[in-house]
Amino acid sequence: MNNMGAGIAITGCGSAAPEAILTNYHLAQMVETSDEWIKTRTGMSNRHIASPTESLSQLSAVAAKNAIAMAGISATDIDLIILATSTPDDMFGSACKVQGLIGATNAVAFDLTAACSGFLFALINATQFIRNGVYRNVLIIGADVLSRWVDWSDRASCVLFGDGAGAAVCQGISDGDRLLSYGMYSNGSQNDSLNLNYQSDCQALVDGIIAQQGTYHPITMNGKEVYRFAVARVPEAIEKAMFHANLTANDIDWLLLHQANQRIMDAVAKRLKIPSEKILSNIAEYGNTSAASIPLALDAAVREGKVKPGDTIAASGFGAGLTWGAAIFQWG
């Protein structure tokens, strides 16, 4: 296709979450904690947990179908699928599986791994393909099943994470551009602040050749460092994006942040001088769903009628890597 100079619009969104809900009261039966302790420090009440019969690919497909339906197109209209995830069903990637499940027979598909920044990075990647005229309809999905990799005996981290998927359809348009600005950042010197590491056992093969055989071990996190990083870097990234879009905080209708911790979201809003009522938050229901958290919150707000066509949204993802980024876009 030849669509040089196209702008981008996000025309549909969708989400999906497992049926099983793990409450704070459930967690209090598992580790030494309480509903009050968790709510006060995180803002979380529930998180959805995938059962043995629910896969990341299935959740992604449901979210994708909902987004495609809202956009008013069919799966065969999709040119590209970008699946942002750190927990694929298959280490070779799950995007192609999703492509098959939704019947997007004309789409190329690939996975993108950037942890909790994944959906935002997928949006920015999709933008390049559309603006360059390569593709017209791009489906981006943020999905994670972090419950697979949680240490359920670690009370500092097990209260945080849940499972889910969210999706959005990005389309090329000729009348302007709804993505007003963006930025992506990484700092590998802080990599050890949040990890899901591979740990190997040695297996001798022949003549002194040793192979690694092992698996990934549960999530480890330095909560204080991640908090400090987020409240410093996220407002800075959003301020830069607003500057490049020639906007001020008064021009922002909604603040859409990775749902890591309600205290982080409140601190970012305060630094940006954005009123707390403009924060889009569903962390109480879903907890931290990594790459899924931004599209889950967006989909809920759109379907509730909170976010309306033309609204200006400041979004930011941040997490393991460490990675972070921001984007300013208009909905619809």
Position 134 in a domain: yes
In the predicted model, what is the mean pLDDT of residues 323-328? 97
Q: 125, 137, 258, 282: which is the annotated catalytic residue?
A: 258
- Whether the predicted pLDDT of 1 surpasses 80: no
- Among the listed residues 13, 116, 158, 170, the single catalytic one is 116
In a domain, 261, yes or no: no
To the query of whether residue 202 is one of the catalytic residues in this protein, the response is: no
Cα–Cα distance for residue pair 297/281, rounded to 1 Å: 6
pLDDT score of 3: 44
Helix 262-272 with 223-244: angle, nearest 10 deg: 40
Residue 23 placed within a domain: yes
295 found inside a domain: no
Residue range 73-126, pLDDT digits in tens: 999 999 999 999 999 999 999 999 999 999 999 999 999 999 999 999 999 999
The tokens for 277 are 């009522």
Q: What is the pLDDT of residues 133-190, one digit of tens each?
A: 999 999 999 999 999 999 999 999 999 999 999 999 999 999 999 999 999 999 999 9
Classify residue 36: in a domain, yes or no.
yes
258 annotated active-site: yes
Q: What is the pTM of this model?
A: 0.95
Compute φ and ψ for 255, nearest 5 degrees.
Answer: -105, 115
Total of domains in the chain:
1
Q: Is 325 exposed, middle or buried (0-12, 13-18, 19+ CB in 10 A)?
A: buried
Whether 59 contacts 163, CB under 8 Å = yes
325 belongs to a structural domain:
no
What distance in Å separates the CA atoms of residue 151 and residue 147, rounded to the nearest whole number? 9
66 is an active site residue: no
Q: Which domain holds residue 91?
A: 7-179
Helix (H) or strand (E) holding 256: strand 254-257
pLDDT (0 to 100) of residue 2: 40
Which pLDDT value is given to residue 5?
A: 58
Q: Which of 24, 137, 261, 288 is catalytic?
A: 288
Query: Can you tell me the distance from the alpha carbon of 194 to that of 191, in angstroms, rounded to the nearest whole number?
Result: 7
- Residue 115 identity (one-letter amino acid): A
- CATH number of the domain within which 102 lies: 3.40.47.10
The Cα-based distances of 226 to 192, 211, 322 in angstroms read 10, 34, 9
Give me the residues paired with residue 221 across strands. Answer: 194
pLDDT above 90 covers a percentage of the chain that reads 92
